[in-house]
Structure 1
Amino acid sequence: MADFKQDRPCHAAPRHGGNLLAVQARFGGGDADWLDCSTGISPYSYPLPAMPESVAQRLPQISAEFWAVLKGYYGSAQCLPVAGSQAAIVALPQLRAPCRVGVLRLSYAEHAWRWQQAGHTVILLARNEIDAALDTLDVLILVNPNNPDGQRWTAQQLLAMHAKLAARGAWLIVDEAFIDVDAAESVCQAASQNNRSGLIVLRGIGKFFGLAGLRLGFVFADKKILAALAEYIGPWAVSGPALWAGQLALADEAWQQMQRSRLLQEAQSLKAHLIAQGLTPCGDHPLMQFCVVDQIDQWGYALAANGIYARVFNTQDVGVNALRFGALTLQQHAEFAQRLARAAAQVQST
């Protein structure tokens, strides 16, 4: 367990995947020369039709039909739409006075960074340290499934942790950005219940629906927290085109089932390619394969030299050297296997 205050950053500004232009500037090539598996965004996007002109002309309005679609998909409509869950990650630290915030050491780095930047004391925890730390925390933040390693908590485990925290007025924030492939353990609906004060759940349509550029997410929580968050963020936080697209995607059950099936199936193919080159995932999810490696620098350069853009984790704050591979289309798998084999040969020759 490690404590970090504002004058002792727990992270530098987080690095993210998806920055292909910067990678191209360093290693060369154009879009056609790279296989970008640096994010957890589905390579298959929900197919949007032509947008009515009026959607962009008017100020954003949330209709009764939109709320009904939300309730149908998430099981609750007691939420605040935001410009991607990232907007909530930035705003939530502003709603509490300086306090003690527990975050998993290996997780989505924006959580720790934003709370630390807002003046809170951030405690980085290993998974096996969480239970012992609960009585010392004012906020606990968990990503479920966890990014980048795909590790999971059951709803029963999360609600038990929330009960301990809520007894002292503490919060449990659960980031469910990657849960849509299998949402059986979601606590999204529970966050709207009157007896679950202080349970805050973040959802979004970026990862599973492949619509990250729209910037549409939702915060599920008790009404008091939602009101405070809405006041802080201000009006028209979500664009009309994002609301229009989100309503279509969330209502389309047939497409959602097809998306789940192909992501699950194709993840097995990608996993097999990794195992064939000695990269056995120690944690996996249909949108990300997480592989701990010894020769992290050699792997990072070899992958880039062969036009594979993966996430490289090699900094002290995460406590592990690893590669994360996001999903690729099935049509890209053969090319990925060939490039990965060349990269593995280069690593073995060093």
Structure 2
Amino acid sequence: MREHGGNLDTAMQRFGGRIEDWIDLSTGINRQPYPVGVIEQSAWTALPSRSEIEELHEAARQTYATQAPLLAMAGAQAAIQCLPSLSRKGRARILAPTYNEYAGVLSSAGWDVAEVTNLDALAGADLAIVVNPNNPDGRRHERADLLALLPCVGRLIIDESFADALTQLSLAPEAAGRGGLLVLRSFGKFYGLAGLRLGFVLGAEGDIATLSAMAGPWPVSGAAIAVGRRALLDREWASATTARLGHDCVRLDAQATAQGWRLIGGTPLFRLYDVGDALAAQDKLARGRIWSRVFSGQPGWLRLGLPGDEAEWSRLASALAR
């Protein structure tokens, strides 16, 4: 099993409690989710129509400021699962450390996979992968530097799952007409609705057509279409959320610094700290029923998402004070 956040089953096995007792800060999912509102009954009872899917696609194009062909899928993970089949097996190079599903999915499909530590080392790869901003350390790359890679690789995958509040980083506006470039976007993280399973992949017409054939005629649910379109077009909510997340990052960093933890990096949805002994810090928080993310290969790293309401902030402060 590859390591992920959100593993509350593990937390409850080790420390007890019921799922509703826990505040899960082990993921980068917004804990003040988009207010879904009323969903029409037909979203649950009828197959999604092509016109409804296209309306969702158009909402995504407006939000991501792009004219590129795109496809809604059941989360960015669904697109990742399809990557090995887009071309013949070859050399995959992944800028690391990063989200561990890429290496796992490609290795399982028989690709020659290697992790590298700088952009220049991606040159020559048949498939090059960059997460921007990166998970878990928040490392960021300028658009021009990423575009300069395109002539040097067979296909370039840019995962922007955490870019919603950092629009200046996004290559989505540059994706139209650029062969060999695919941009992945997650919906569930910024909008706090990971259970909806919605994401998008943008790229050249041929690649999107191939992915569409893999995904089938109904790649996302009626509920995902209804909620996704409504949320993506609500720019007022997105703007207010971006501002709140920026404020809350400063707040969380201050609490962590008071503990003697050192900020390594992060995004507006999570922070990564060097805490010395991550397992000890995780245990301390878990006694207050707050779950965090540790990394087996980095014993000092602890990742925390941002608390939601004031009650969650208060519980985090109490757990840190133990």
Letter in 1 for 2:4: H
- Asked if 1:89 corresponds to 2:89, the answer is no
Residue 5 of structure 1 corresponds to which residue in structure 2? Answer: none
- Asked if 1:70 corresponds to 2:60, the answer is yes
Letter in 1 for 2:280: Q
Q: Alpha-carbon deviation of 1:320?
A: 6.1
- Asked if 1:173 corresponds to 2:157, the answer is yes
Residue 188 of structure 1 corresponds to which residue in structure 2? Answer: 172
Note the alpha carbon deviations across 1:74-120, whole angstroms, 9 max, x for none. 12351011011100001111222221111123101111111111100
Alignment CA distance shift 1:197-1:48 (3 Å): same
Alignment length, in residue pairs?
Answer: 318
Alignment CA distance shift 1:236-1:292 (3 Å): same
Q: Alpha-carbon deviation of 1:292?
A: 2.1
Kept in 2, the 8 Å contact 1:206–1:214? The answer is yes
Residue 43 of structure 1 corresponds to which residue in structure 2? Answer: 31
Letter in 2 for 1:329: G
Kept in 1, the 8 Å contact 2:273–2:303? The answer is yes
Note the alpha carbon deviations across 1:171-214, whole angstroms, 9 max, x for none. 1100000000121120012122x2x1010000121111111111
Match among 135, 140, 145 for residue 152 of structure 1: 140
Q: Alpha-carbon deviation of 1:336?
A: 0.5
Matched residues, percent identical?
Answer: 39
Residue 242 of structure 2 corresponds to which residue in structure 1? Answer: 260
Equivalent-residue separation in structure 2 for 1:250 and 1:126 (angstroms): 34
- SS for the counterpart of 2:156 is strand
Equivalent runs, 1:209-224 vs 2, <5 Å: 209-224=191-206
Alignment CA distance shift 1:53-1:341 (3 Å): same
Match among 299, 303, 312 for residue 281 of structure 2: 299
Note the alpha carbon deviations across 1:289-338, whole angstroms, 9 max, x for none. 101233233223333233220000123xxx56311001111412222122
Q: Alpha-carbon deviation of 1:62?
A: 4.1
Equivalent-residue separation in structure 2 for 1:33 and 1:104 (angstroms): 37
- Asked if 1:324 corresponds to 2:280, the answer is no
| Root mean square deviation, CA, Å | 1.6
- SS for the counterpart of 1:209 is coil
Kept in 2, the 8 Å contact 1:104–1:126? The answer is yes
Equivalent-residue separation in structure 2 for 1:180 and 1:146 (angstroms): 13
Match among 87, 97, 105 for residue 96 of structure 2: 105
Match among 113, 116, 121 for residue 125 of structure 1: 116
Kept in 2, the 8 Å contact 1:37–1:327? The answer is yes
Residue 346 of structure 1 corresponds to which residue in structure 2? Answer: none
Residue 19 of structure 1 corresponds to which residue in structure 2? Answer: 7
Letter in 2 for 1:183: T
Kept in 1, the 8 Å contact 2:123–2:149? The answer is no
Residue 334 of structure 1 corresponds to which residue in structure 2? Answer: 314
Kept in 2, the 8 Å contact 1:144–1:178? The answer is yes
Match among 207, 226, 235 for residue 225 of structure 1: 207
Residue 235 of structure 1 corresponds to which residue in structure 2? Answer: 217
TM-score, length basis structure 1? 0.87
- Asked if 1:56 corresponds to 2:44, the answer is yes
Alignment CA distance shift 1:67-1:303 (3 Å): closer
- SS for the counterpart of 2:266 is strand
Equivalent runs, 1:271-310 vs 2, <5 Å: 271-310=253-292
Equivalent-residue separation in structure 2 for 1:178 and 1:121 (angstroms): 27
- SS for the counterpart of 2:168 is coil
Kept in 2, the 8 Å contact 1:296–1:314? The answer is no
